[in-house]
Amino acid sequence: MKSTQYSEKTLDHFRNPRNVGTLEGPDVAVGRVGNPTCGDLMDIYIRVKDDHIEDIRFQTFGCGSAVATSSMITELVKGMTLDEALKVTRADVADALDGLPPIKMHCSNLAADALHAAIRHWRDGVTVEEALAAAPAAPACGAPAGAAADGVATLDRFEGRGVYRRLDDPSQLAGQRVVVLDTGDEAARLAIDLTGHTGRVVLMTPGKEPAVSPAVRSALRLSDVKVLAEAEPLELLGEGELERIRVHDLAEDEEYELAADAFVVPG
Amino acid sequence: MHTLTLSDPGEALRKAGVVYADYQAAKPVDPRVVAAMLPYMTERFANPASLHGPGDEATAALEDARARVARLIGAEPREIVFTGSATEATNLALIGYALRNRRKGDHVVVSEAEHISVFNVAKHLQKAGFRVTRVPLDLHGRVPLQKLRSRITDDTILVSVQWANNEIGSLQPIAEIAAMLEGTGIALHSDAVAAEGLVPIDVREVPVSLLSLSSNDLYGPRGVGALYVRSGVQLAPVILGGGQERGLRSGSEDVAGIVGMAAAADIAREEMAAEAERLRAIRDRLVERVLAEIPDAHLNGHPELRLPNNAHFRFDGVEGEAMVLSLRDHGVAAATGSACSSKTLEPSHTLIACGLLHEEAHGSLEFTFGRWSTDEDVDRIMAVLPGVVARLRSLSPLYRPKATGGPGAAPQATTATTKDAR
């Protein structure tokens, strides 16, 4: 079955998703599942009154079935008690949509998981802010909570052949794919500066957001720097010069390789 | 005798209300090609191997077609082997060359940009005891010469680098690679399927050893391909049987299909220069409008050194399959490199090799134009694409527009109590 051969019901929920958005207030909890690396990220917000789901909203980044399952589950569980809602399974959501293509059953059917996470958070008293692990507070001046490169295997082997501890002249990286390790404001400023010389600058940070001051954070958002969050470098790879960085995805505890020509570790 | 009326693909698409911008995936057969093929299905049906008069006529048609396909790429007719597809041509090129020349060495080099069919043939060679090395790509998906050079060893017998990429359209420095390998005894295979009919290919100027071609990519029928085999290059056959095509590809020749490929090659030879310019203008207008009218949109691949019909974008915070599905609802046919549209759930290996993150590769959208594309197609795409991207971004928890920046700039959705959670 082709991945795009969805049921009419699934297509309807994709085209006209129900209950899109967010909720706020002391009676609200949220569950977040997925990972943009895998192509899916889903937030489900519930407003709880008398142990019932009084209101529900979602936001989803993902394919057709990711959107449709989110939309469907909001319709399914609205008004249910929390215990009833906890019994709603992935299979129930898929059935309510008249089925999903087999390849989508696992990867893009996370809505029940997100709902259950929201209910657990409600019961455990986890606030929306905590659940979404809001950006870390800006570090105190002079104490950046950024990354350290000491543990990166083969860092020394590529010194001068793709690895830079300092960059006197950013234009020397013109046209290259540059990954800057987030070691604080200086690293972020350097990354922004580099976008004037090359079209591809990635700022790699182990946190959910770069460990920078508010002013630098705004500048980063407006820049062409691509922030790679929740990632740390494990090993540098290449024949003679740097070609790939083996990256640890901290959110998923998985590893993957990122093609790059330069790795800058402002020290 | 029945008279057939051939419908015009452009008119058929217009009637159906479809903007077809996925020419890389499949092309209609040009009605002129169909007209050329028809007699070989009904009247001139004989087998070229037969010794009678009709058989001789079939042989003449086959050899005439061989000469016409050869002319498209500046080859000699005897250097063309007809196959059942470009994939089959690639199998014959890589497996046939490696097996026949094993005593020279056991090392094969392929680029990270190759089509999946080349990768899988290379994997097969690995199982057969060959060593396979992949060459990384630069930011734009092109093979850096020095990276290729550094991977060549004394045992290398074969290098495979496509002429142009089938996804992002980047043109490979194939002339430089051919010049680098000339005189080394290392064979160079190039998969020219994405490039044929769009950019000039001349094997006299670019001395590749082997070149894979497809008929459909020239607006010929499916089920026909060809392999250019430079005079003197030795191959082992991979399909055995009655010894057709100089023993390299057995099986009675599909004369009608081959005549169709030849007719398509003639049209490409005559019309390519003008058509490429026309497509370039359509494509350039789409690229300009997308980058100007949709925030946080990026062009993948090389800005200039790319196929004239190819536009490949990514949009921050939006997933590719969701875009293709939404565009389908608006009658626009496009493609994506998102894993969610693939059999393997892995995003496009080419985009990853360009250095994109997985989430970026998931957000890719490819438009490829062709013979029946018009300026109006760009208008129709742009009438819906900004809205599609905006709608999906309004659903997405990931997207924060750069223009306004800051944590208070979450997209508006139909919320009960709108707020930004971060």
Residue A225 dihedral angles phi and psi, to the nearest 5°:
-70, 130
What stretches of A54-97 show up as alpha helix (H) in DSSP? 64-77, 82-86, 90-96
Give the pLDDT confidence score for residue B155 in this predicted structure.
97
User: Does the distance separating the beta carbons of B416 and A23 come in below 8 Å?
Assistant: yes
* Bridge partners of residue B82, in order along the sequence: B226
Does residue A33 sit within a domain? yes
* pLDDT for B93 beyond 90: yes
This prediction's pTM: 0.83
Quote the minimal CA–CA distance from B189 to chain A in Å.
Answer: 23
Residues B322-342 pLDDT 10s: 999 999 999 999 998 765 556
For residue A108, pLDDT over 80 is answered with: no
- Give bridge partners of residue A164 from the DSSP assignment: A264
Tell me what the pLDDT averaged over chain A comes to: 86
Please state, for a pLDDT cut of 70, what percent of chain B lies above it: 92
Q: Are strands B310-315 and B364-368 parallel, antiparallel or unpaired?
A: antiparallel
**What number of helices (H) and strands (E) belong to chain B?**
13, 12
Is A172 found in the same domain as A252?
yes
The whole-angstrom distance between A166's CA and the closest CA on chain B is 22
Out of A29-43, B78-92, B333-347, least confident range: B333-347
- Distance from B415 to chain A by nearest Cα, in Å? 5
Catalytic residues of A: 38, 107
pLDDT at position B407 is: 38
Closest Cβ opposite residue B340 in set A43, A63, A259: A63
Q: Which residues of B touch A256 (CB under 8 A)?
A: 358
Nearest residue, CB atoms, B422 vs list A62, A135, A200: A135
Share the mean pLDDT of chain B: 92
Contacts of B347 in chain A (CB under 8 A): 39
Q: Are residues A93 and A184 in the same domain?
A: no
Closest CB to B415 among A22, A42, A128: A22
A126 & A170 share domain: no
**pLDDT average, residue stretch B287-303:** 97
Between B399 and B200, the more confident residue is B200
Cβ-defined contact of A36 to B343 (cutoff 8 Å): no
Residues A180 and A96 in one domain: no
Q: Tell whether A181 and A103 lie within a shared domain.
A: no
CATH for A122: 3.90.1010.10
Residue A222 in domain: yes
Whether residue A77 lies inside any domain: the answer is yes
Residue B45 clears pLDDT 50, i.e. is over it: yes
Domain boundary among A97, A131, A165: A131
Higher local confidence (pLDDT), B343 or A121: A121
Catalytic, out of B38, B99, B325, B340: B340
Smallest CA–CA distance from B152 into chain A, residue: A239
Residues A28 and A123 in one domain: yes
* Region of residue A98 (phi > 0: left; psi between -120 and 50: alpha; otherwise: beta): left
Give the residue-averaged pLDDT of B294-308.
Answer: 96
Residue A257 covered by a domain: yes
Q: In terms of domains, do A12 and A74 share one?
A: yes
Q: Is it the case that residue A104 has pLDDT exceeding 80?
A: no
Instruction: Compute, in degrees rounded to 10, the torsion defined by CA atoms B284, B287, B290, B296.
Output: -150
Contacts of residue A122, defined as CB under 8 A and 6 or more positions apart, other chains included, come to: A29, A46, A48, A82
CB contact under 8 A, A15 and B329: yes
Give A3's pLDDT tier (boundaries 50, 70, 90).
Answer: low
Task: Say what the pLDDT of residue A69 is.
Answer: 94
Rounded to a whole number, what is the distance in Å from the CA of B8 to chain A's nearest CA? 28
Quick one: B289 exposed, middle or buried, by C-beta within 10 A (0-12, 13-18, 19+)?
Answer: middle
Got the DSSP string for B374-412? Answer: -HHHHHHHHHHHHHHHHHHHHH-SS---TTT-STT-PPP
Inter-chain contact A61–B400, Cβ cutoff 8 Å?
Answer: no
Domain membership flag for residue A150? no
A122 and A162: one domain?
no
Q: What is the pLDDT of residue A140?
A: 30
Which range, A59-63, A205-209, B341-345, B370-374, is most confident?
A: B370-374
Band of residue B5 on the pLDDT scale cut at 50, 70, 90 = confident
Sort out which chain B residues have CB atoms less than 8 A from A102's CB and list them: none
Q: Which residue of A has its CA nearest to B303?
A: A199
Domain boundary among the residues A115, A131, A147 is at: A131
CB atoms B340 and A258 under 8 Å: no
Residues in chain B within 8 Å Cβ distance of A237: none
pLDDT of residue B119: 92
Q: Are residues A233 and A187 in the same domain?
A: yes
Q: What is the mean pLDDT of residues A171-176?
A: 92
Among candidates B150, B357, B419 on the partner chain, residue whose Cβ is nearest the Cβ of A228: B357
CA nearest A71: which of B414, B112, B101, B208? Answer: B414
Give me the sign of the Cα torsion angle A161, A167, A168, A174.
positive
Model confidence over A126-168: pLDDT tens digits?
899 888 874 333 333 233 344 556 567 677 788 888 999 888 8
Query: What average pLDDT does range B108-127 have in this prediction?
Result: 95
- Convert the pLDDT of each residue in B185-202 to its tens digit: 999 999 999 999 999 999
pLDDT (average), residues B95-117: 96
Query: What CATH code is carried by the domain that includes residue A216?
Result: 3.50.50.60
Residues A107 and A24 in one domain: yes
The minimum CA-CA distance between B340 and chain A, rounded to whole Å, is 6
Q: Does residue A202 lie within any of the structural domains?
A: yes
Chain B residue closest to A103 (CA)? B343
- pLDDT, tens only, B129-169: 999 999 999 999 999 999 999 999 999 999 999 999 999 99
Under DSSP, the state recorded for B270 is H
State the best of B135, B145, B343, B357 to mutate against chain A, taking most chain A CBs within 10 Å: B357
In chain B, what are the domains?
31-268 (3.40.640.10), 272-395 (3.90.1150.10)
- Please give the average per-residue pLDDT across B309-323, as a whole number: 94
pLDDT, mean of residues A201-217: 89
Residue count of chain B:
422
Answer yes or no: do A115 and A77 share one domain: yes
pLDDT tens for residues A213-245?
Answer: 888 988 998 899 999 998 999 999 998 899 999
State whether B136 and A244 contact (CB < 8 Å). yes
Which residue range(s) make up the domain with A233?
Answer: 156-264
Could you tell me the CA-to-CA distances from B193 to A182, B96, B215 in Å, in that order?
42, 19, 9
Residues of B in contact with A259 (CB under 8 A): 136-137, 352-355
- The per-residue pLDDT for B343 is 60
Count of domains forming chain A: 2
Indicate if the pLDDT at residue B30 is higher than 90: yes
Q: A196 lies in a domain?
A: yes
As a whole number, mean pLDDT of residues B212-227 equals 98
Per CB-CB distance under 8 Å, the chain A contacts of B334 are none
Residue A2: the pLDDT is 61
Q: Which residues of B touch A240 (CB under 8 A)?
A: 150
Instruction: Give residue B179's Cα distance to chain centre.
Output: 23
CB A43 within 8 A of CB A133: no
Q: Determine the distance in angstroms separating the CA of B391 from the nearest CA of chain A, rounded to an integer.
A: 10
**pLDDT at residue B403 is higher than 60:** no
pLDDT at A206: 87
Mean pLDDT across B263-279: 98
Crossing angle of helices B320-329 and A64-77, rounded to 10°:
80
Q: How many CB pairs under 8 A join A and B?
A: 162
Same domain, A114 and A164: no
The answer to whether position A120 is within a domain reads yes
Note whether A63 contacts B400, CB cutoff 8 Å: no
